[in-house]
Amino acid sequence: MWAYLVRRVLYYIPLYLSILLVVMLMLRVNVDSAIMVKLGKNPTPEQIELIRTDMGLDKPFLTQYYILVKDVLTLSFEQRSWDQSVPVGEMIRKAIPPTLMITLPSLAITATISIAIGLVCSFNRGRWLDRGLMILAVLGMSVSYLVYIIIGQYFGASVLSQEMGVLPFEIQGYEPVIGPLEGESSAGLLNPMNWVKYCMLPVIIGVVVAMGYDTRFYRAVMVEECTRDYITTALAKGASSKKIMFVHMLKNALIPIVTRVMISLPFLIGGSILVEYYFSIPGMGRTMIDAINSKDFPVVQATVSVFAAFVIITVILTDVLYALVDPRVRLS
């Protein structure tokens, strides 16, 4: 397996370097626009030159590329953001925890509930329970994410606050759940109430939105499993439906489940742009979209390189997991 892993890593290195190269090339197609964004409507040629030097854009392209590769290898990202003037590495370090506080629970809850519903639906396929749940899933899928956010904020926070006099959820901002942010004081290391206050509503919305898609996917997977011979054999042997669903079917459906969950993993770091934007959560998704909007190239490069690295690592890990969950798969 180790030989396989080394081979895969070696295979992905040129691919990764190419991704970095393409990103840099794309960003430099219209580099003047980034300067204009920073300098406003009436820059003088003198200012343009000054800022070009300050941004490191006067250096040869290969030198700029080398700096990026070095930053990625050392995970330092010392270059300062053009928009926020703070080191990019610091921005990313601060953005990852809020994102994980939302995406990790969302993924875990969505996957657990969707798989369970998928199993129940497949076992009852064609019956009212299956049809009802699938109608709900389609309805859930059909409504825009934005609508859930707006309604969630309105009822989940504002109405509760005004009508009941309590404010269970904040609709704005984020406070650290584990440990203090750099430069800030904190009473303790673990603040679970902060999670309830700042993350729970976005997580609920994320779960509701994702469940429609996931439930349909897992149902399809399970329905296919239902038609397998081993299910007929188990039924013939008198196995209970619980045992068939949660022991036999689930085990055999693990490959598509693992694939789906692993595909979602890089997005845990990427964050949810809409949720983070509307709830003002300073996570990776918001950092990335803000950087794109303000043409903050160092941050765009850094976030894309982190994201690409996660995608590659996930692909390799998925292969490994295949071998672990299915003895027929051999890594060679």
Partner 1 sequence: MRRIGHSLIISGVLCSVLAAPAMAQKVLQLPIRTDGPKSLDPVEGSTTYDNMACVQIYETLLTNKYTDPLKYEPLLLTEMPTSPDNGKTWHFHLKPGVLFYDPYTYPNEFAKEPIFDGSRTRAITADDVFYSLKRLADEEYELENWWLVKDTILGFNEFKDEQNAAAEFDYSAPVEGFRKISDLEFEIELTQPVYRFNYVLGMFQTSIVAHEAVDTFGDDFFRHPVGTGPFVFESWTPKKDMALVANPKYHDVYYPARDEWSSEDRRRRLHRPAGKQVPFVDRLEFMMFPQDQPMWLEFQAGNIGYTQVPDEFFPQAFDKRTKELLPDQSARGVSGHSDRLLDFIFRGFNMEDPVVGGYGEKAKALRQAISLAMDLNEFNETFYSGLNVVYDGPIPPGLDGHPEDGRAAGAYQGPNLALARQKMNEAGYPNGEGLAPIKYLANRGGNSPEQTELMERQLARIGVRLDVQLVDFSTLIESVNKKNAPIFSFAWSSDYPDGENNLALFYGPNEAPGANHYNYKRAEYDALYERILTMSPGEERTAIYEQMRDMLLEDVPYIGSMARERHYTINEWLLNCRPTERYYSWFKFLDVDDSKRR
List of residues contacting partner 1 (CB under 8 A): 30, 32-34, 36-37, 39-44, 46-47, 50-51, 54, 80, 83-86, 150, 153-154, 157-158, 161-162, 167, 171-174, 181, 183-184, 277-280, 282, 286, 290, 295
The nearest distance, CB 260 to partner 1, in angstroms, is: 31
Q: What does the alpha-carbon distance between residue 206 and residue 285 come to, in Å, rounded to a whole number?
A: 14
Cβ closest to partner 1, residue 43 vs residue 256: 43
The nearest distance, CB 34 to partner 1, in angstroms, is: 7
The nearest distance, CB 141 to partner 1, in angstroms, is: 23
Cβ closest to partner 1, residue 95 vs residue 133: 95
Angle at 319 between CA 22 and CA 273, to 5 degrees: 50
Cβ closest to partner 1, residue 132 vs residue 179: 179
In Å, what is the CA distance from 176 to each residue of 20, 88, 125, 181? 32, 20, 44, 7
The nearest distance, CB 161 to partner 1, in angstroms, is: 5
The nearest distance, CB 148 to partner 1, in angstroms, is: 13
The nearest distance, CB 40 to partner 1, in angstroms, is: 6
The nearest distance, CB 91 to partner 1, in angstroms, is: 9
Cβ closest to partner 1, residue 184 vs residue 229: 184
The nearest distance, CB 117 to partner 1, in angstroms, is: 31
Q: What does the alpha-carbon distance between residue 324 and residue 39 come to, in Å, rounded to a whole number?
A: 55
Cβ closest to partner 1, residue 1 vs residue 159: 159
Cβ closest to partner 1, residue 119 vs residue 281: 281
Cβ closest to partner 1, residue 14 vs residue 45: 45
Cβ closest to partner 1, residue 171 vs residue 312: 171
The nearest distance, CB 25 to partner 1, in angstroms, is: 19
Q: What does the alpha-carbon distance between residue 286 and residue 2 come to, in Å, rounded to a whole number?
A: 37
SS (H, E, C) the chain: CHHHHHHHHHHHHHHHHHHHHHHHHHHCCCHHHHHHHHHCCCCCHHHHHHHHHHCCCCCCHHHHHHHHHHHHHHCCCCCECCCCCCEHHHHHHHHHHHHHHHHHHHHHHHHHHHHHHHHHHHHCCCCHHHHHHHHHHHHHHHCCHHHHHHHHHHHHHHHHHHHHCCCCCCCCCCCCCECCCCCCCCCCCECHHHHHHHHHHHHHHHHHHHHHHHHHHHHHHHHHHHCCHHHHHHHHCCCCHHHHHHHHHHHHCHHHHHHHHHHHHHHHHHCCHHHHHHCCCCCHHHHHHHHHHCCCHHHHHHHHHHHHHHHHHHHHHHHHHHHHHCCCCCCC
Cβ closest to partner 1, residue 80 vs residue 216: 80
